[in-house]
Amino acid sequence: MVTIPAEVGRYYGIRPGYRLDWQVVAGKDEILVRIIPDRAELARRLLGAGRRFSPDRDGVAELIAERAMED
Which residues are 53's β-sheet partners?
none
Is the model's pLDDT at 52 over the cut of 90?
no
DSSP 8-state secondary structure symbol assigned to residue 50: T
Entry field: residues in the chain: 71
pLDDT at 26: 93
**Integer Cα distance of 14 and 59 in angstroms:** 38
CA-CA-CA-CA torsion sign (32, 45, 55, 68): negative
pLDDT per residue over 30-42, tens digit each? 999 999 888 887 7
The DSSP secondary-structure symbol of 51 reads G
